[in-house]
Amino acid sequence: MRAILDRCKEFEGPEAVSAALQEEQERELSPEIKQKRQFEPPPLMDTYPHSLRRDTQERIAFGNIPSKSPAFMPAFTCLADTISAEYLDIAQFPRDLLVTFDFAKTLKLPGHNSVSDTYQRPVQWILTSKDGKDGVAHVVIISPFKAQHLIPEIRKEKMRDSTVFLHLYAPRYTSSVPCLDDLKLYTFPEPLPQQWELPTHIRLQLNLFCG
């Protein structure tokens, strides 16, 4: 050990060598601490039943998505019972992007101060309706249950003149994944009108809402 110390002093000095050797000895003597990560699932809660209002179903089938219907609500109001609402004024967010009531309300929270962060539903299916000029009139995020039951209605509409389209969406979490926020990857029915384009302000709201 003395020979090693003398040799190391020629390069680093005694203080650095002494500290390095002491650290190495402590590392060898210290017992290994094995930690096992434990996952604690969120507590079970009562859920709202799936529902599909018949009047809403018929309106969507004919391309009429009423923004003031009780079946629809601004998307960012879903965050009213999350921790984010303690730091942000949810009422000041834009109200162009909509969600259906069954998408927003999935669980019956036990108390007034309960938070729903752990139970937020991911965005996967989006309905859009076009205006008379092939522009986008409404954009609505819907639940998988509603998407499954609306496909037959949209298929009937396809026989006439499609004004409502169902889109598949996934948020972009890494730069290696291509963007899907133009809502053109998978649509039903196909194809989209040639002039169809999702407005930029709606795309920004969609990406912001999805995190």
pLDDT single digits (tens) 47-103: 777 766 665 555 565 556 655 667 788 989 888 888 888 888 888 888 889 888 888
Q: Decide the pairing of beta strands 164-168 and 136-142.
A: unpaired
Does 21 score more than 60 pLDDT?
A: yes
Domain tally for the chain?
2
Does one domain contain both 127 and 194? yes
Report the mean per-residue pLDDT for the chain: 77
Question: Does the residue 58 lie in any domain?
Answer: yes
Per-residue pLDDT, 206: 92
Span 145-174, average pLDDT? 78
Is there a single domain that holds both residue 182 and residue 87? yes
Is 92 found in the same domain as 9? Answer: no
Asked whether residue 44 is assigned to any structural domain, the reply reads no
Q: Do 156 and 186 share a domain, yes or no? A: yes
CB 130 within 8 A of CB 163: yes
Determine the average pLDDT of the residues in 22-26.
67
Asked if the structure places residue 47 within a domain, the reply is no
The mean pLDDT value for 175-200 works out to 85
Residue 33's domain spans which residues? 1-38
Mean pLDDT over residues 29-34, rounded? 60
| Residue-level pLDDT at 125 | 92
Residues 6+ apart with CB under 8 A from 28: none
- pLDDT tens, position by position, 165-186: 889 998 888 888 888 888 888 8
Among candidate residues 162, 208, 159, 207, the one with its CA nearest the CA of residue 188: 162
Same domain, residue pair 11 and 68: no
Cα angle for residues 58, 59, 62 (degrees, 5° grid): 90
Q: Is 178 exposed, middle or buried (0-12, 13-18, 19+ CB in 10 A)?
A: exposed
Instruction: Answer whether residue 43 is part of any domain.
Output: no
CA distance 42 to 39: 10
Same structural domain, 165 and 202: yes
pLDDT at res. 28: 60
- Please give the helix or strand (H or E) that residue 22 lies within, else none: helix 14-29
Q: Which two tokens stand for residue 74?
A: 């601004």
Residue 136 resides in a domain: yes
Structure-token pair, residue 86: 């303690």
Is the residue at 45 inside a domain? Answer: no
Name the pLDDT band for 146 (thresholds 50, 70, 90).
confident
Q: pTM above 0.75?
A: no
* Whole-number Cα distances in Å, 84 to 17, 87, 106, 117: 50, 6, 18, 9
